[in-house]
Amino acid sequence: MVSMSKSGKFQFTNVVLISVAHHIHDIYTSFLVPVQTLLIDKLSINYTLFGLLSVFQRLPNLLNPYIGILAERVRIRYLMIFAPLITAVSMSLIGIAPTYSFLVIIMVVSGISSMLFHVPTPVMIKHVSGNKTGRGMSFYMVGGELARTLGPIIIVGAIDLWGFENTFRLIPMGMLASALLFIRFRHVDLRKEFPHEQKKGRYNKAFREFLPLLLLIIGISFTRGFMKSCLTYYLPGYMKETGKSLWIAGIALSTVYLSGSAGTFLSGTISDYLGRKRTLLIITVISPLLMGLFIFAGSFWTFPLLIMMGFFLLAPTPVFLAIIHEYKTDHLPFINGLYMTSNFLIGSLSTLLTGIAFDTLGYQITFKLGAAVAFLAIPVVLLFNNDHAKQK
């Protein structure tokens, strides 16, 4: 049985195991972006319709707060355990999708399984990280970012080896992941981690108290969202427009996420010592400057700048998670669900708007706008103070 004790000790083994589970699951969710150009050509769709796929995939996350409430009352660990299998089956069928409608169904199913996985697992990380919440969230996020590093390579390699229509051969890896999760986490009951008196609810009050902090996080995420969409979701399209191959586009995407893994690993730990606000301020200042250099620099600097941009691009998430999971509340899964919902909705909106910009303005202007809007995150970070977070 996995210990979920709230002691101050950082439980390294449990943190790593949960992070590895996160890694395996998210490998599959990273399959869509690398095959962007293949799907656009096969189904005769534009970037706006491709961006809508992200919206459909994230739509189930509207239910995140309710899943958070559910985590307090019933055993949902089996849903979490089998989520990698469901995600693996759905995302491995991308290559055989005959129509756009079929692809939409795939995205919705994978979005549901992803939601069932991502709501309870940060709570589990919180309870095995002791007083090093930032470090625990960094480990957790590294699992996800490393998945997005390997995912493009795995899917492109599978296409090269078997063909686009045979990517379903990747399903067994998801079956193995769920089997391992079942062996390790089948005895974990998240209900034991929450006070019994909270069953009476008062979720509206919890929402009102959390709202000022949530709005600041939304502000930072939204202003940075266009830049993030450009450098993740639409990077393959950008690389194609500049004459690069599918393999180069996949490697570029993996480069961003690999350096992003280092950023997520270090940012949470650094924020434990440097402070959450100061860490976020450094990140929000440097990121758009690097993107500006990327736009105007020559081809020689493409990959060095992708490495640097990835490091800072993905670094805020562990800091946000540390802030949220230090928030004093009896409804932590519900609060985490609110954050996850806002995060996915902002990501969906940013991705869709960036796709529309790609179709109407072109990739060069879109990338420049993404960098310019990202500077607006700086004043939002400056508004953050300790009064917004009820520290434990």
At 37-65, the pLDDT tens digits run 889 889 989 888 988 888 888 888 777 66
Cβ neighbors of 165 (< 8 A, separation 6 or more) are 95, 96
CA dihedral 392→195→337→133, nearest 10 degrees, is 40
Q: Give residue 200's pLDDT.
A: 46
Rounded CA-CA distance 69/66 in Å is 5
The two structure tokens encoding residue 13: 């083994």
Whether 2 maps to a domain, the answer reads no
* Both tokens assigned to 145: 């970012």
Q: Which residues does the chain have with pLDDT short of 70?
A: 1-8, 64-65, 67-77, 79, 185, 188-201, 330, 386-392
Residue whose C-alpha is closest to residue 71's, from 336, 318, 324: 336
Range of the domain at 193: 12-388
Residue 53 placed within a domain: yes
Q: What is the pTM of this model?
A: 0.69
CATH no. for residue 123? 1.20.1250.20
Token duo for residue 54: 């992200």
Residue 324: the pLDDT is 83
Is position 326 within any domain?
A: yes
| Contact present, 198 and 331 (Cβ < 8 Å) | yes
Residue 136 CA from chain centroid, whole number: 16
Contact 124, 111 (CB under 8 A): no
5 part of a folded domain: no
Number of folded domains in the chain?
1
What is the per-residue pLDDT for 59?
82
**Per-residue confidence (pLDDT) for residue 3, from 0 to 100:** 47
3-state secondary structure 111-146: HHHHHHHHCHHHHHHHHHCCCCHHHHHHHHHHHHHH
In a domain, 3, yes or no: no
Contact 384, 280 (CB under 8 A): yes
Q: Are 272 and 130 in contact (CB under 8 A)?
A: no
HSE of 350, CA atoms in CB hemisphere, 13 A: 28
Is residue 355 a part of any domain in this protein? yes
pLDDT in tens, 142-154: 788 788 878 888 9
In a domain, 1, yes or no: no
Q: What is the pLDDT of residue 227?
A: 94
Phi/psi region, residue 243 (left: phi>0; alpha: psi -120 to 50; beta: rest), is left
pLDDT score of 2: 46
Residue 6 lies in a domain: no
